[in-house]
Amino acid sequence: MTEIFNKKEMKERRQSLRNQATDTEILLWERIRKKQVLGVRFRRQFSIGHYIVDFYSPKIKLAIEIDGKSHDRESKREYDSTREEEIKQLGINMLRFRNHEVLEDMDGVVRKIETAVKTLTVSKDEPAKVL
């Protein structure tokens, strides 16, 4: 089977994205790192296939994306839609937040992440639910 997670050829790009994190990525990372959300570990700038997601928990197959103004362009919305669909086809769930949500309602964002974590960890015997 071909490796799809954190491919070596994408390492430099992942590192560059971590080093150039947006303010909203930094703020959210401070709230979800070190297993702060119900004991679930998230990783930053994690590659899945040929895409890189902002945050990912391999244990529960949950990706989190933060969208800024650039995601308002039609071409970017189409790209995001295709990207999200391809990632979901791998059995990975995706949560998306807008920059303003993170900046204006961080507690609400964290609650939504907690809800997703609870949903995805209810039973390991059940297949993951697509959010």
Q: Look at the chain and report how many structural domains it folds into.
A: 1
pLDDT in tens, 99-121: 999 999 999 999 999 999 999 99
Residue 107's domain comprises: 8-119
Residue 131 lies in a domain: no
Residue 110 lies in a domain: yes
The two beta strands, 43-48 and 62-67, are unpaired
Strand order in the sheet with 93-98: 43-48, 51-57, 62-67, 93-98
CATH of the domain at 78: 3.40.960.10
pTM assigned to the model:
0.86
Q: What pLDDT shows up at residue 98? A: 95
Q: What pLDDT shows up at residue 69? A: 72
Residue 57 lies in a domain: yes
Q: What pLDDT shows up at residue 131? A: 58
Which residues of the chain are under the pLDDT cut of 50? Answer: 1, 123, 125, 128
Residue 33 lies in a domain: yes
Which of these, 17, 3, 9, 36, lies nearest to 111 by C-alpha position?
36
Residue 64 lies in a domain: yes
Question: How far is the first Cα of the chain from the last one, in angstroms, to the nearest whole number?
Answer: 27
Average pLDDT over the chain, rounded to an integer: 89
Helices and strands (H and E) in the chain: how many: 5, 4
